[in-house]
Amino acid sequence: MFPAALSVFGFQPPITAASGIRWRRRARLLAWLFGCLCCAQPLVAGVHTATAVHTNQPQRSFSSGAQPNRTLAAQVAMARCRQALAETNPSDSVCELSLANGQTITSARDIRAKTDDTPLYLWRFASPSATVFVAGTVHVLKEALLPLPNQFIQAYNQTDKLVLEVDLSRHPQAQVQATTLRYAALDNQALRQVMPADLYQRLVAAGLTYGLPVGQLQSYQPMLASQQLTVLGMNALGYDSDFGVEHVITQLGQRDADDILQLETLDFQLKLLFTQPIDTQLAVLDQALDDMADVEWNVSQLMTAYFRGDDDALLRTMTEQTGDHPLVKAFNDQLMNQRNRSMAKTIAGYLQTPHRYLVLVGAGHLVGPNSIIAELGRAGIQGQRIHANQSIDHREH
């Protein structure tokens, strides 16, 4: 499916990318894009609650109380938890959502690997002149899953070039938003006019549950609704791009603008999303809405596979979440397999230079027979996978 599997581990939607917009400000972003988010809230006919805890003091819980949607409930619970945490200021605890509408949210403790020799989503490729580290990332995480493995930081410190899927720092935030909306615009139709009535009603219901103002999305394509619903669904579980691997790495600093490269461009990614036929977009949205009912299970399975270095489980879960619809499968092929070939070719080119690179791509690009790793292997380029109990030596060229 597009929302959980591809948004988290594969394609990184520009609106949801690590752009410095903190989770507690997400509502302000949506308000900027579509008008006041709170305008949709009086229409919600449900009551939603969330509970947050301190990770090292789980007996201390902080309830949101009754809220009009799941996203706001999560936001309020986390804000109350963080306020209490700030007052006591323990250095060994952070806030984490534990319940959403009474459903248990899988904890970071249960997601993390149980052994010291876990294979990381980190490979080292070397040539006589260059070293390239390829790191599989998660675009959104929760704070309780940090810090990153130290090997990611070592790889960053031992390289002089950082490579992202897209470097959004090249564009002012307002430009990214405006460009995205321009690509996403519908021509001479409203969203509800291009959607079957039953699918539209399901979208409205999901929008009410997660605080997505569907009425204010009428000028935009279904793919944008899928993206925004994904953002809010992840937020309702406590996940946020501000804790994603890309954002954490880019905050380490010590990189000049000329030393931050990108595998793709913003325009390329937006065209890939918003030039899809409407039938494809509707199939993606239909699959997304189906999967929202099990969003906690879907996300926890993906995260557990990632943190335990389980390639088979990650690939299997992503494949299951893609579903069986031929249009969704074709879309997935464009977003993953076709891009993997292009990315692998670019990475192979880095090995012909006199530099050291850290390449950050969604971990979904690194598993399966059509992964970047497999594509490099078919080109005769073999890498070493790094494990959690290994230190990365610095190697000069």
Please tell me which residue, 301 or 46, carries the higher pLDDT value: 301
Please report, rounded to a whole number, the percentage of residues in the chain having pLDDT higher than 70. 87
Please tell me which residue, 113 or 345, carries the higher pLDDT value: 345
Find the domain containing 364 and state its range: 2-12+116-387
Q: Looking at residue 80, what is its pLDDT?
A: 97
Q: Looking at residue 365, what is its pLDDT?
A: 97
Cα-Cα-Cα-Cα dihedral sign, residues 13, 17, 21, 26? positive
pLDDT of 145 above 80: yes
Vertex 63 angle, CA 19 and 22, to 5°:
10
The DSSP bridge partners found for residue 357 are 132, 161
> CA 51 to CA 107: how far, in whole Å?
12
- The number of distinct structural domains making up the chain is 1
Please tell me which residue, 10 or 251, carries the higher pLDDT value: 251
Q: Looking at residue 45, what is its pLDDT?
A: 47
Give the length of the chain: 397
Closest-CA residue to 46 (of 74, 27, 73): 73
Please report, rounded to a whole number, the percentage of residues in the chain having pLDDT higher than 90. 76
What average pLDDT score do residues 176-184 get? 94
Q: Looking at residue 323, what is its pLDDT?
A: 86
Is 214 contained in some domain? Answer: yes
Is 353 contained in some domain? Answer: yes
ω into 326 cis (within 30 of 0):
no
Is 44 contained in some domain? Answer: no
Query: In whole numbers, what is the pLDDT of the chain averaged over residues?
Result: 88
Residue 92 pLDDT grade (very low, low, confident, very high; cuts 50, 70, 90): confident
> CA 117 to CA 246: how far, in whole Å?
24
Is 280 contained in some domain? Answer: yes
Segment 272-295, tens digit of pLDDT: 999 999 999 999 999 999 989 899
Q: Looking at residue 115, what is its pLDDT?
A: 84
pLDDT of 87 above 90: no
Residues 224, 50 contacting (CB under 8 angstroms): no
Is 258 contained in some domain? Answer: yes
Neighbours of 116 (CB within 10 A): 8
- Backbone phi and psi for residue 386, each to the nearest 5 degrees, phi listed first: -95, 140
Is 105 contained in some domain? Answer: no
Residue 89 pLDDT grade (very low, low, confident, very high; cuts 50, 70, 90): confident
Residue 4 pLDDT grade (very low, low, confident, very high; cuts 50, 70, 90): low
Residue 137 pLDDT grade (very low, low, confident, very high; cuts 50, 70, 90): very high
Q: Looking at residue 13, what is its pLDDT?
A: 53
Residues 133, 357 contacting (CB under 8 angstroms): yes
Segment 8-36, tens digit of pLDDT: 666 665 554 322 223 233 333 333 233 32
The answer, as to whether pTM is greater than 0.75, is yes
Is 61 contained in some domain? Answer: no
Is 52 contained in some domain? Answer: no
Residues 300, 4 contacting (CB under 8 angstroms): no
pLDDT of 74 above 80: yes
pLDDT of 313 above 50: yes
Residue 7 pLDDT grade (very low, low, confident, very high; cuts 50, 70, 90): low
Q: Looking at residue 169, what is its pLDDT?
A: 87
